[in-house]
């Protein structure tokens, strides 16, 4: 029996891409914590914070959240530029689409930095904050897909019709998350719960959660009917079900506590980001080796001495 692995450059880039996905998820969550803790303007200038890279005297929880959010974004930008450069250097042993994709990701990160600066300069306008989150979710989705194509390349594990449902699920989760961001940045939930004002936006977010959840759960159930997917990808599918259920309860509890529990609101955004990452990974996961790159062939007999 023969086991096939990606080429070494492709595997190394895939490992690095997986770390970037984690950093991007952390970036979204820290950004959510920054908003919930009202720390978006804790650093009044940009890109420095109180005129220095590390504000010592002014450091508190709010300043730390905003400062660390920027630091994580800087780290993600540097790593993506590095990956872009490596994809150009190793272009002969990598798929032709990879340098173009990394180029796009680098531009998106630059645009994300511009939106981040704009949120500070223009004092947190709602639409700019939503655009900032939209680019962040786009980065998570693309980077998660790139990771799977690097580590598990080849033909998709799904037929085209099922993959289209998967992409529809992905877009619906992102859309629902952005609607939730609109609710949060316009303070619609607090105004509705406390004063009975602006309830239409909150009601729309709550009502739209049902068709989105139904679409994602339908995608998982249909995926379970595919024998190969059931055998090999069941952890992904169970994770999606767990995240959807968690997201529903987190939303209900957040409303129940009047949006006054920061941990619940932050966890709500974390689960949304994890859903985007997992659904995207599943949609881009391949069955085998892509012919556009070199491969490393290892047989079982070669690994017998390593089994211990």
* Owning domain of residue 161: 156-285
Domain count, the chain: 2
Q: Is 102 helix (H, G, I), strand (E, B) or coil?
A: helix
Q: Which two tokens stand for residue 79?
A: 């790593």
pLDDT above 70 as % of the chain: 89
Q: What are the start-end ranges of the E strands in the chain?
A: 2-6, 295-299
Average pLDDT, the chain: 83
Residue 222 vs residues 170, 186, 228, 230: alpha-carbon distances, Å: 15, 37, 12, 10
Clarify whether residues 207 and 278 are in a common domain. yes
The pLDDT-based confidence of 88 (bands split at 50, 70, 90) is very high
> Residue for token digits 């959807």?
244
- pLDDT at position 196, please? 73
Nearest to 119 by CA among 44, 26, 209: 44
- Taking the C-alpha atoms of residue 112 and residue 86, their distance in angstroms, rounded to an integer, is 22
Full-model pTM: 0.85
Clarify whether residues 87 and 170 are in a common domain. no
Clarify whether residues 3 and 130 are in a common domain. yes
How many CB atoms sit inside 10 A of residue 138's CB? 17
* Phi (first) and psi of residue 118, to 5 degrees: -65, -35
**What number is the average pLDDT over the span 216-236?**
90
Clarify whether residues 19 and 130 are in a common domain. yes
Clarify whether residues 5 and 113 are in a common domain. yes
- Region of poorest pLDDT, from 2-6, 75-79, 219-223: 2-6
Clarify whether residues 72 and 14 are in a common domain. yes
């Amino acid at each position: 029996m023969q086991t096939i692995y990606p080429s070494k450059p492709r595997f190394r880039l895939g490992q690095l891409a997986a770390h970037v996905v984690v950093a991007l998820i952390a970036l979204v969550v820290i950004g959510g914590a920054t908003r919930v803790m009202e720390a978006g303007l804790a650093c009044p200038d940009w890109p420095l914070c109180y005129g220095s890279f590390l504000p010592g005297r002014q450091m508190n929880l709010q300043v730390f959240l905003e400062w660390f959010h920027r630091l994580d974004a800087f780290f993600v930008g540097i790593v993506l530029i590095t990956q872009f450069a490596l994809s150009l250097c190793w272009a002969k042993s990598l798929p032709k689409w990879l340098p173009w994709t990394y180029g796009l990701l680098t531009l998106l990160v630059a645009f994300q930095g511009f939106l981040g600066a704009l949120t500070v300069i223009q004092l947190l306008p709602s639409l700019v904050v939503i655009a900032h989150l939209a680019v962040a979710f786009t980065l998570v989705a693309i980077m998660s897909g790139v990771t799977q194509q690097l580590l598990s390349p080849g033909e998709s594990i799904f037929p085209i019709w099922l993959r289209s449902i998967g992409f529809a699920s992905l877009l619906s989760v992102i859309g629902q998350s952005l609607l939730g961001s609109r609710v949060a940045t316009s303070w619609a939930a607090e105004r509705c719960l406390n004063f009975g004002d602006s309830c239409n936006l909150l009601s729309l977010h709550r009502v739209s959660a049902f068709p989105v959840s139904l679409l994602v759960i339908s995608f998982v159930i249909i995926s379970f009917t595919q024998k190969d997917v059931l055998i090999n990808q069941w952890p992904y599918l169970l994770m999606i079900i767990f995240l959807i259920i968690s997201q529903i309860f987190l939303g209900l509890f957040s409303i129940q506590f009047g949006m006054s529990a920061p941990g619940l609101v932050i966890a709500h955004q974390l689960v949304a980001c994890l859903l985007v990452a997992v659904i995207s990974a599943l949609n881009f996961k391949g069955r085998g080796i892509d012919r556009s790159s070199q491969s490393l062939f290892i047989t079982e007999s070669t690994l017998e001495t390593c089994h211990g």
